[in-house]
């Protein structure tokens, strides 16, 4: 009998070419399944392939009477109640490998856009009423060369960002719970130390109880007034309201955000500010990455049933 895989989003079919005739794939007719549709179908499925923004809670796990694995599409898995899944004997996996380079690229895109005021100047140039001025002392930003980048969370993505920073002539410092192999990067034993010395701060930590609001009003006050904050990790790592206040009051220079506390909602104050660049959780949004992430998630399912290697989160 074929094993059934419920796929919550219409992902690229190229990514599922390795799933043989042993599997029956259930795709949504439109962009995605609703929670009600998942609850209706998951009871007869052996595997659930879920998007990082689709919440897999106790109700869905309980409804999956035959469910053996949740293959999450993305490196983060805070959308899955994985503790309850473990309690029920359901494996949870993620897709860490394909997200590293595109997320690092996105972080650097935000760094450049904020430092050189690209989005702000683009908006004003398109608006004849903006009063944009041309001149050698107008629209000044800051450069990256010679500046210090502080990486909070020097995992695989953090290291990929650090490599790019070094190519731009930046000094890199980092903070982890413990010192790690970091090439030319310098270890900061406390977050405060990193915040004090960094011109740019890149957040690259998973969302946990410890990292929720890691960057709050107090942390923002410890940053340089000229500093720029970049978040491509998870929205709740930053106290969004505190950040909006800090940007409005120029406690820090600017911010580049790809993630938000209550996605898809964005703090209304952020939308009014010129010194923040916003993106709709686009860190891995390349055609290549989407195909490879689909392929990786599919391989986790294949390998789980074949007894091969998987990237489990518990």
> What are 276-301's pLDDT values in tens digits?
999 999 999 999 999 999 999 999 99
**pLDDT for the residue numbered 21:** 83
- The pLDDT, as a whole number, for residue 180 is 92
The pTM is what?
0.91
pLDDT at 116: 98
Confidence of residue 20 (pLDDT cuts 50, 70, 90): confident
Average pLDDT, the chain: 96
Fold topology of 3-94+287-306: Rossmann fold (3.40.50)
Measured CA to CA, the distance from residue 193 to residue 187 in angstroms comes to 10
Let me know if 133 is exposed, middle or buried by CB neighbors in 10 A (0-12, 13-18, 19+): exposed
- Residue 250, C-beta contacts closer than 8 angstroms, at least 6 positions apart: 225, 275
Nearest of 248, 247, 229, 228 to residue 237 by alpha carbon: 229
The CATH classification number of 99-278 equals 3.40.50.720
CB 206 within 8 A of CB 233: yes
**What's the maximum distance between 2 C-alpha atoms anywhere in the chain?**
71
Task: Give the per-residue pLDDT at 204.
Answer: 98
Mind giving me the DSSP string for 94-130?
A: ---GGGHHHHHHHHHHHHHHHHTTHHHHHHHHH-GGG
Least confident of 11-20, 93-102, 201-210: 11-20
Q: How far apart are CA 59 and CA 48, in angstroms?
A: 14
Length of the chain: 314
In the chain, where are the structural domains located? 3-94+287-306, 99-278
Grade residue 128 by pLDDT with cuts at 50, 70 and 90.
confident
Mean pLDDT of 169-191: 96
For the annotated catalytic residues, the residue numbers are: 234, 263, 281
Distance CA 71, CA 190 (A): 35
Q: CA nearest 56: which of 35, 87, 74, 31?
A: 35
pLDDT top residue among 21 and 270: 270
Q: Around Cβ 251, how many Cβ atoms within 10 Å?
A: 18
What band does 224 get if pLDDT is binned at 50, 70 and 90? Answer: very high
């Amino acid at each position: 009998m074929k094993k059934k895989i419920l796929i919550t989003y219409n992902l690229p079919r190229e990514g599922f070419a390795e799933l043989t005739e042993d599997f029956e794939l259930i795709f949504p007719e439109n962009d995605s399944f609703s929670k009600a549709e998942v609850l209706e179908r998951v009871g007869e499925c052996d595997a659930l392939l879920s998007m990082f923004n689709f919440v897999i809670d106790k109700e869905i796990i309980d409804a999956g009477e035959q469910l053996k694995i949740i293959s999450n599409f993305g490196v983060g898995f805070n959308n899955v109640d994985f503790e309850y899944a473990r309690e029920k004997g359901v494996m949870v996996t993620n897709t860490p490998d394909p997200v590293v380079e595109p997320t690092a690229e996105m972080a650097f895109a935000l760094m450049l856009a904020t430092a050189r005021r690209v989005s702000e100047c683009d908006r004003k140039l398109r608006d004849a009423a903006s009063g944009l001025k041309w001149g050698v002392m107008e629209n000044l930003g800051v450069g990256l060369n010679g500046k210090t980048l502080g990486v909070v969370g020097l995992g695989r993505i953090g290291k990929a960002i650090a490599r790019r920073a070094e190519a731009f002539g930046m000094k890199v410092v980092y903070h982890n719970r413990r010192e790690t192999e970091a090439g030319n990067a310098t270890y900061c034993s406390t977050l405060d130390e990193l915040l004090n010395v960094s011109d740019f701060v890149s957040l690259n930590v998973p969302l946990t109880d410890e990292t929720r609001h890691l960057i709050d009003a107090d942390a923002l006050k410890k940053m340089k007034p000229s500093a720029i904050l970049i978040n491509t990790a998870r929205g709740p790592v930053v106290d969004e309201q505190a950040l909006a206040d800090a940007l409005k009051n120029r406690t820090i220079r600017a911010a580049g955000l790809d993630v938000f506390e209550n996605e898809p909602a964005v703090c209304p104050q952020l939308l009014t500010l010129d010194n923040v660049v916003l993106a709709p959780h686009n860190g891995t949004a390349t055609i290549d990455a989407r195909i490879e992430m689909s392929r990786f998630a599919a391989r986790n399912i294949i390998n789980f049933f074949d007894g091969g290697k998987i990237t489990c989160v518990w």
